[in-house]
Amino acid sequence: MGVVIVGAGECGVMAAFALRAAGFDGAVTLIGSEPELPYERPPLSKSADGALQAIRPKEAFETARIKLCRGEAVQAIDRVNKRVMVSGRALPFQMLLLATGSRARKAETLAGTLTLRTFVDAQRIMMHVKPGAKIGIIGAGFIGLEMAATASKIGAEVSVYHNGQAVLARSVPPQVADIIAARHRAEGVHLHLGATVQSADATSITLGDGLTRTFDCVITGIGAVPNVELAQDAGLSVENGIQVDESFCTSAPDIYAAGDCCNFPWRGTRLRLESWRAAQDHADHVAAAMLGARAAYDKVPWFWSDHYDQSIQVAGLFEGSRPTHERDLGLGAKIFFQCDDTGTLTAAAGVGHGQIISKDILILEKIIERRAAVVPADISNIDFNLKAVLKAG
Q: For 159-213, how does the pLDDT look when each residue is reduced to its tens digit (9 = 90+)?
A: 999 999 999 988 899 999 999 999 999 999 999 999 999 999 999 999 999 999 9
Q: What mean pLDDT value characterizes the chain? A: 95
CATH of domain 309-392: 3.30.390.30
Nearest CA-CA partner of 315 in 380, 362, 283:
362
Query: Residue by residue, what is the 3-state secondary structure of 91-147?
Result: EECCEEEECCCEEECCCHHHCCCECCCCHHHHHHHHCCCCCCCEEEEECCCHHHHHH
Instruction: Answer whether 106-220 and 309-392 agree in fold.
Output: no
How confident is the model at residue 392, as a pLDDT?
A: 77
309 CB-near residues (< 8 Å, 6+ apart) = 353
Q: Which CATH superfamily hosts domain 3-103+225-290? A: FAD/NAD(P)-binding domain (3.50.50.60)
Instruction: State the pLDDT at residue 49.
Output: 72
CA atoms within 13 A on the CB side of 371: 5
Is the pLDDT score of 337 beyond 70?
Answer: yes
DSSP type of residue 264:
E
Compute the distance between CA of residue 54 and CA of residue 10 in angstroms, rounded to an integer. Answer: 10
Angle, alpha carbons 320-42-332 (nearest 5°): 55
Q: Give the pLDDT mean for 356-379.
A: 95
88: pLDDT strictly greater than 90: no
Q: pLDDT at position 150, please? A: 95
User: pLDDT tier at 386 (50, 70, 90 boundaries)?
Assistant: very high
pLDDT of residue 391: 83
CA distances from 267 to 136, 188, 340, 369 (A): 40, 42, 13, 11
The CATH H-level (homologous superfamily) assignment of domain 106-220 is FAD/NAD(P)-binding domain (3.50.50.60)
The Cα–Cα gap between 358 and 360 comes to: 6
Residue range 142-148: mean pLDDT, rounded: 96
Least trusted range by pLDDT, from 42-51, 94-103, 333-342 = 42-51
**Angle CA(285)–CA(289)–CA(295) in degrees, nearest 5?**
75
Q: Which long-range contacts does 50-57 make (Cβ < 8 Å, 24+ apart)?
A: 50/122, 50/123, 50/126, 52/119, 55/10, 55/13, 55/14, 56/13, 56/17
Q: Among 105, 113, 123, 100, which residue's Cα sits nearest to residue 44?
A: 123
Give the H or E element holding residue 206.
strand 204-207
State residue 235's pLDDT score: 97
Question: Which residues, at least 6 apart from 271, have a Cβ–Cβ distance to it below 8 Å?
Answer: 263, 264, 301, 317
Domain residue spans in the chain? 3-103+225-290, 106-220, 309-392
Query: Side chain identity at 82, as an amino acid letter?
Result: K
State phi, psi for 154 to the nearest 5 degrees: -75, -25
What is the three-class DSSP state of 210? coil
pLDDT of 119 reads: 94
pLDDT of residue 393: 63
Q: What is the pTM of this model?
A: 0.95
